[in-house]
Structure 1
């Protein structure tokens, strides 16, 4: 794979040719090797985002083993489960994470005082996500001068993610999905092999974990995609 630290400064056709080559190279190697390739050949100042959700320990372990000081971006909406905050504390201590917490400029309580519970209808949910997830993430990438953004998205997670490549251009960064082709079984095997935990709520039937007001347990007859955002969508805007 060609080293292209300045790929973001190249013209669109050059970028696309390089991304095609990078994806082909990543197709043939392990997730650990994909991380190594990206850290070695992709734009500098790599970061990894994590919601500290159900299977978050996989990506955090993969990245921190190869770059101990990589910034780990957590978006704190003010509505995370208590278990999520404690899980973040646990993994930060266990893996010695370089945690960077970002929040909306306006607190959750102040947002509710002004606009009520935005997440209860679709248009309001989009505004809520923009305020509490998209804008803070954009600010984090800018302040950390990120060139490469690692994410734990997987094709098996939902219909909207079935075509996720290993590497793509996302606004002003190269975004990398080292475990894009992993199955749920792959996740389980990795956690078992390295004695890493699932999120505590996983064992109570929660398969995708975000805010308290927009996360449901997977009950019989439900589709996993229906457990988030009250059935109004699967993506919050961070990855689209």
Structure 2
């Protein structure tokens, strides 16, 4: 029987919390077989999860949501890692192009939280929902970590998000562990790391880390941390 957050027994839940990242990935693959996918934003430290998971299952579908507003350096990073790791990349884009959206709605990321939420639903949540449905995914491996933000501090190794079971293999990793893994495996950081970026998303909603800022305040002008992909919301209509 496929296990979810609600059905995990105490012993298994405790085992997952104490398990290594590789063991957690193995558990997910055993439980969900071919119905598990990996997502990536090709962010600052994305090479870690891409490497860790594809070392165990090289052919796993890797979902990448291309909003059309990514940094040029991000697109270059995508090509570098796809070639290096031979990723089974599945690219999903919004239903409307960036030009069409701006013509009709304007720059929604400049119009306050409500408009920003609508922008994120159209550009990130909807494409991800479509990807999960197209690929028949029941489980989704993600590289979220508790130390990344206050919104992620209470996440579990395995959680249910609507119809999808999410697995977070490196949820308890520190910055030191991430760095050591990258160094040991000779993995590259996103090119913008050297320019002071600690988190990278759309160019219009991402800033380098400045004096008096924390990582959360570098995204969306400090209005929020999450883009919608990792939030439980009634407005997410299918899987996530």
> Which of 176, 181, 187 matches 2:178?
187
CA RMSD of aligned residues (A): 1.3
Do the aligned residues in 2 keep the contact of 1:19 with 1:168 (CA within 8 Å)? no
| Change beyond 3 A, Cα 1:233–1:27 | same
Task: Give the deviation of 1:23 after TM superposition.
Answer: 2.8
Distance (Å, rounded) in 2 between the aligned partners of 1:68 and 1:16 = 29
1:87 aligns with 2:82: no
1:1-240 to 2 correspondence within 5 Å?
Answer: 4-5=1-2, 7=3, 16-18=6-8, 20-42=10-32, 44-120=34-110, 121-240=112-231
| Change beyond 3 A, Cα 1:42–1:83 | same
Distance (Å, rounded) in 2 between the aligned partners of 1:28 and 1:34 = 9
Task: Give the deviation of 1:22 after TM superposition.
Answer: 3.9
Task: Give the deviation of 1:224 after TM superposition.
Answer: 1.3
Question: Which runs of 5 or more residues in structure 2 are unaligned?
Answer: 232-240
Distance (Å, rounded) in 2 between the aligned partners of 1:175 and 1:43 = 14
How many residue pairs match? The answer is 230
Do the aligned residues in 2 keep the contact of 1:147 with 1:172 (CA within 8 Å)? yes
* TM-score, length-scaled by structure 1: 0.92
SS at match of 1:66: coil
Distance (Å, rounded) in 1 between the aligned partners of 2:208 and 2:29 = 36
Distance (Å, rounded) in 2 between the aligned partners of 1:19 and 1:134 = 31
Distance (Å, rounded) in 1 between the aligned partners of 2:161 and 2:9 = 12
1:161-208 residue CA offsets vs partner (Å, 9 max, x unmatched): 001100011111210000000000010000000000010101110000
Distance (Å, rounded) in 1 between the aligned partners of 2:113 and 2:11 = 39
Task: Give the deviation of 1:20 after TM superposition.
Answer: 4.9
* TM-score, length-scaled by structure 2: 0.92
SS at match of 1:101: strand
SS at match of 1:238: coil
Question: Which runs of 5 or more residues in structure 1 are unaligned?
Answer: 9-14
